[in-house]
């Protein structure tokens, strides 16, 4: 209630209304479990992760979505410079084109994570502050738009609608792309399309730049630790990248920007897992990770969109 009163004062909201909404929020133990991190040292598996998203049901749904929304996708690509394939890939991974937008009451999820975020998380303090801010954004958004804060449903993290926007992203990046004078990410595919494109443009998407290139290694001069040290942040020019033993071919050798070595684990090699997958990520690959801070997510979105585009253009 102290949080409610402070929020109401800073946002110019009715204090009784804010107290009423927060007072109706329920603590969800399942959300706390879902947000608790896996044990450290656990191997990820790109092949298994990819198979969850690049699969026939989602690809066919994406084909139908693309064909039904050609005009909006073409307009978004023209207006924002973001490829239709990337927009379609994101909405497909996030909600299977509106089929799965989440069944958690958003206010319950956000309040649970704002006040009972799992303490075992290595970034528990920062994440608590993040979710308190998102809870504040959510209540402000619902009050401003007339959305019922006790009816809105989303993911266990409080993400909403076809593109699974957090409340702050809805406020900053959501656009009325169907021209009906309101933003509706729950029911308007066009608004979802335009909002995803606007999100990527705001984070620095560069039209025409690839997201990644194939990469191999020259074992005689490979400094893999040095290449991986900046993580997924593009840091190396082509010359410094190849000087550390990365091998590029074709257009990648003329890439004008920075590159990052992206490593995707395929399980534990010591226990039957396959070798890791590597690629050279560009600034645009990094932009995709701003939607979800995971290189596995980014490549799944990219490859789902490409698979659907191939079907559409047959």
Q: Which residues are catalytic?
A: 94
- Token representation of residue 254: 């003329």
- Contact (Cβ atoms closer than 8 angstroms) between residue 72 and residue 65: no
Instruction: Count CB-CB contacts under 10 A for residue 311.
Output: 13
**Residue 110 backbone dihedrals phi, psi, to 5 degrees:** -70, -40
What is the b/e burial string over 147-170, where b = at least 16 CB atoms within 10 angstroms of the residue's CB? bebeebbbbbbbbbbbbbbbbbbb
DSSP string, 143-210: HHHT--TTT-EE-TT--BTTTTB-HHHHHHH----SSSSS--TTT-HHHHHHHHHHHHHHTT--TT--
Strands (E), the chain: 104-105, 153-154, 212-214, 216-217, 246-247, 260-266, 274-281
- Contact (Cβ atoms closer than 8 angstroms) between residue 107 and residue 24: yes
- Rounded to whole angstroms, how far apart are CA atoms 189 and 72? 9
Q: Are strands 260-266 and 274-281 parallel, antiparallel or unpaired?
A: antiparallel
C-alpha to C-alpha distances, 161 to 96, 99, 111, nearest whole angstrom: 11, 10, 19
C-alpha to C-alpha distances, 32 to 36, 116, 152, nearest whole angstrom: 6, 7, 20
- Rounded to whole angstroms, how far apart are CA atoms 267 and 264? 9
- Contact (Cβ atoms closer than 8 angstroms) between residue 215 and residue 246: yes
Beta partners for residue 280, in sequence order: 213, 261
């Amino acid at each position: 209630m102290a949080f409610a009163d402070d929020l109401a004062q800073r946002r110019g909201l009715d204090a009784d209304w804010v107290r009423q909404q927060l007072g109706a929020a329920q603590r969800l133990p399942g959300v706390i479990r879902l947000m608790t991190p896996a044990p450290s040292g656990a191997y990820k598996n790109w092949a298994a992760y990819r198979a969850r998203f690049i699969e026939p049901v989602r690809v066919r749904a994406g084909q139908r979505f693309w064909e039904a929304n050609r005009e909006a996708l073409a307009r978004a690509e023209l207006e924002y410079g973001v490829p239709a394939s990337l927009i379609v890939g994101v909405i497909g991974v996030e909600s299977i084109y509106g089929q799965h937008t989440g069944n958690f009451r958003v206010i319950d999820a956000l309040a649970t994570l704002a006040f009972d975020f799992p303490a075992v998380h290595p970034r528990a303090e920062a994440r608590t502050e993040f979710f308190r801010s998102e809870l504040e954004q959510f209540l402000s958004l619902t009050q401003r738009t007339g959305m019922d804060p006790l009816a809105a449903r989303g993911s266990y993290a409080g993400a909403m609608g076809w593109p699974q926007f957090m409340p702050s992203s809805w406020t900053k990046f959501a656009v009325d792309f169907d021209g009906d004078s309101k933003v509706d990410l729950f029911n308007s595919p066009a608004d979802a399309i335009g909002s995803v494109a606007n999100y990527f443009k705001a984070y620095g998407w560069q039209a025409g730049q690839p997201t990644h290139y194939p990469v191999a290694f020259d074992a005689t001069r490979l400094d893999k630790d040095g290449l991986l040290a900046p993580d997924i942040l593009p840091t190396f020019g082509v010359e410094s990248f190849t000087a550390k033993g990365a091998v590029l071919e074709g257009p990648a050798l003329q890439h004008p920007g920075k590159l990052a070595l992206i490593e995707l684990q395929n399980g534990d090699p010591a226990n039957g897992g396959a070798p890791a997958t590597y690629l050279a990520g560009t600034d645009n690959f990094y932009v995709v990770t701003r939607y979800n801070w995971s290189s596995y997510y980014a490549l799944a979105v990219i490859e789902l969109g490409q698979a659907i585009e191939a079907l559409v253009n047959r």
